[in-house]
Amino acid sequence: MKYISTKIRSREDEIMDEFDFKGEELKKVLRTIDKINTKLGGHRVTRKGIQELLENNSKKHLVIADLGCGSGDALRQISKWANKQGLNVQLIGIDANPYTIEIAREWSRDYKNISYRVIDVFSEDFEDFEADIITCCLTLHHFDDQSIAKLLPILSEKASLGLVINDLHRHKLAYQLFKLYCLVFVNSDIARKDGLTSILRGFKSVDLDNYAEQLNLKHHISWYWAFRYQWIIYSS
C-alpha cells in the first residue's frame, strides 16, 4: 500500500483545474461531484454558514456569489433554501472555466435568480465586483498557500457581510474512506483521482488559523461530517 502523508498540503494538480477541460467528460465529472457533495451533506455546511452571517442582518435584498461555482449545484440549493425562508436573493456563480459556466447556465435555466460570469478573480474583471456574502464550496483547496494569502483579502473586501468557505479536512481516514466510497458510488476515473488529490490539497484547522492570523481576519471554524470544514470569515 502506498504511504500517504497528510502533514503538508499536496501541490499536485487536478485535472479539473485545466480551464480548457470541456465536453461530455466535463458534464460527467460535474454530475459525479454534485452527487458526492449531496450524499455527504456538503450543502448544509454552506447553508448553515450563510444563516450565521444573516443572523443580525436586516437587508431586504441579498447578493450571494459562489466562487468556483462549478455546475452551480450549490447555488441551486441556496436558491431553494432562500425561497423557503422567504429571502429575496440574487445569486451569482463565478468560474474561470467558460465551458463549466456553459453547463451551469444550462442546468440552472429554471432558476431566474441565478446568473453566471466567467471571471478570473485575480484579473481586472473582478475589481468592481461586490456582494453581501461570497461562498467558496470546495474551491479554496485549488489554490496554493501564496494564492490563498492573496485571495482572501480580496474576497473579504468585496463581501459586506463575510465569506463562507466549505472545504475538505486533510486527513488519512478521509482519504481511505473516499477510496472505499468510490468503489461503490463513483464511476468516473477523473472524479476519483481528483477527489483523492483534493483531500490531500485540503486543510487542517491549524492551516486556517494560520491564514487568519497572517491576514488579521476575524473568523470561526467548525467541523462537519464527512471531513468538512466550515470556515466563516467576518467582514470588518
Report the CATH number that the domain containing residue 217 is assigned in CATH. Answer: 3.40.50.150
On whether residue 160 sits in a domain, the answer given is yes
Query: What single-letter amino acid sits at 166?
Result: N
On whether residue 127 sits in a domain, the answer given is yes
- Whether residue 32 contacts residue 25, with contact meaning beta carbons closer than 8 Å, is answered with no
Instruction: Kindly state the average pLDDT of the residues 64-90.
Output: 96
pLDDT at 4 over 90: no
pLDDT band at 19 (very low <50, low <70, confident <90, very high): low
pLDDT at 125 over 80: yes
pLDDT band at 57 (very low <50, low <70, confident <90, very high): confident
On whether residue 110 sits in a domain, the answer given is yes
| Percentage of the chain exceeding pLDDT 90 | 86
pLDDT tens digits, one per residue of 186-233 = 988 999 999 999 999 999 999 999 999 999 999 999 999 999 999 999
User: What is the average pLDDT value for the chain, to the nearest integer?
Assistant: 94
On whether residue 66 sits in a domain, the answer given is yes
Determine how β-strand 228-234 pairs with β-strand 159-168.
antiparallel
Report how many domains make up the chain.
1
pLDDT of residue 2: 64
CA 80, 86, 91: angle at the middle one, nearest 5?
A: 50
Lowest mean pLDDT, pick from 9-23, 115-129, 203-217: 9-23
pLDDT of residue 192: 93
What's the domain range around 122? Answer: 20-234
pLDDT of residue 98: 93
pLDDT at 71 over 80: yes
In a 10 Å sphere around its CB, with 0-12 CB exposed, 13-18 middle and 19+ buried, how is residue 128 labelled?
Answer: exposed
On whether residue 6 sits in a domain, the answer given is no
- Whether residue 106 contacts residue 167, with contact meaning beta carbons closer than 8 Å, is answered with no
Give Cα 123 distance to the centre of its chain.
19
Q: Does pTM top 0.75 for this prediction?
A: yes
On whether residue 8 sits in a domain, the answer given is no
On whether residue 7 sits in a domain, the answer given is no
On whether residue 159 sits in a domain, the answer given is yes
Give Cα 1 distance to the centre of its chain.
31
Instruction: Kindly state the average pLDDT of the residues 23-34.
Output: 91
